[in-house]
Structure 1
């Protein structure tokens, strides 16, 4: 019996260890968003003392370190991001968080090393298709990134914001035609054919589409996740959108609503008690951390009390 008990103890410790790591990373991200870069760096240090394998976390930590003025640490973390599989050189070179590193020899060395690997990977890419998807990605994101700034300046219900949303809607319709043609011809192409950012374009455009289109391509994305050509975390968001569109409860709590007073809330959610277990299975952070971005304090017991009223408001039975 002792070996079995030992195994159980180790599994519990490992699970707790992972939770502590993710909590520290979430706190580090919050400090980054609050422009408290030195505090963000310290939290990342504590996190990496527990685990060192997530390329995205290393990259984000590198950004915090660069903004905190610690170029040496920033380059060290960026190199570890690369060692763990980060190859999105297009994004890295354009990321303003890293501008302070551009004249250093360490940066030039990292970019050169990464470019060599990217060139080797891209030798197998469909370059014309990649270029088309990257152009759509830029078109999809460029105006959306302006919404928050305009909203803070003129108000989110202002004519300036309304005009920008109309522009976005028009571009979405054009981009959707292109992406549907790609999906119908090639299927859900993975990173191995077009690279990570171009691959993400497929999800972005479909999630911004109408319900009928989302329903049409949801099975294709499910298969893409099974084939490791799409991320489970991205699929979770599309699953939630489709569920709510079909007047069903969402599964992962990714979709947020807003009442007449401007107060944000989690749209109807199935089995709220176990949502974090489901989120963890697809690589999403705990719901309490996710909803902080909307000023929501997650209280599952309180949410269950409010759920009937939320469902009535959203027309979900």
Structure 2
């Protein structure tokens, strides 16, 4: 099955580049250009595969592992907002029919909102606060958050482990890092102001 094999290959390439950049520490110094190049190339290829396949590759078509690979490619296309936004409703509809794993679609919904500066629905994204502490960013209706999380297969928020501050993951200057992030969201088209 060519489609399945190609999706898995694209994700293996993503993981290999990520691992190499993590081993040198380059992965943690902003959005690495080499990683971005892989993400955009994979997303462009996925877009072509979706067109050839006449739809997003579902579990029934390619199996769960390859379907998840395709979903991860969408999630990693962070510097191509139009592509991610175009997939959101399609994938939400497929998740309702259990044709793609809902958990990854929840992550996509939140990731789009996170980059747009909006409140999350499922609380799947975290960011460094002004004190350099990694925290879940604002969510809609916090009182029913765990109910929404359970509906898509996510564990309760309280069970999540927050990454402790250390040299590898902790930004040396959280305010500067946040400003760079905001500039990046404007440059890529996630935000206009």
Q: Given the two structures, how large is their TM-score scaled by the length of structure 1?
A: 0.47
State the secondary structure of the residue aligned to 2:95: helix
Bigger radius of gyration among the two? 1
Equivalent residue for 2:67, pick from 184, 191, 199: 199
CA offset digits 1:174-230 (Å, max 9, x no partner): 111100111223212222221222111211111111222111111111122123221
CA offset digits 1:4-29 (Å, max 9, x no partner): xxxxxxxxxxxxxxxxxxxxxxxxxx
User: What is the rounded CA distance, in whole Å, between the counterparts of 2:16 and 2:2 in structure 1?
Assistant: 21
8 Å CA contact 1:188, 1:229 repeated in 2: no
**Structure 1 runs of 4+ off > 6 angstroms?**
none
Which blocks of at least 5 consecutive residues in structure 2 are unaligned? 166-181, 183-190
Which blocks of at least 5 consecutive residues in structure 1 are unaligned? 1-126, 297-313
User: What is the rounded CA distance, in whole Å, between the counterparts of 1:135 and 1:193 in structure 2?
Assistant: 17
Is the aligned partner of 1:184 residue 2:47?
Answer: no
Match of 2:42 in 1: 175
RMSD: 2.6
8 Å CA contact 2:150, 2:156 repeated in 1: yes
State the secondary structure of the residue aligned to 2:138: coil
Match of 1:281 in 2: 151
User: What is the rounded CA distance, in whole Å, between the counterparts of 2:20 and 2:120 in structure 1?
Assistant: 28
Q: Given the two structures, how large is their TM-score scaled by the length of structure 2?
A: 0.75
Match of 1:246 in 2: 116
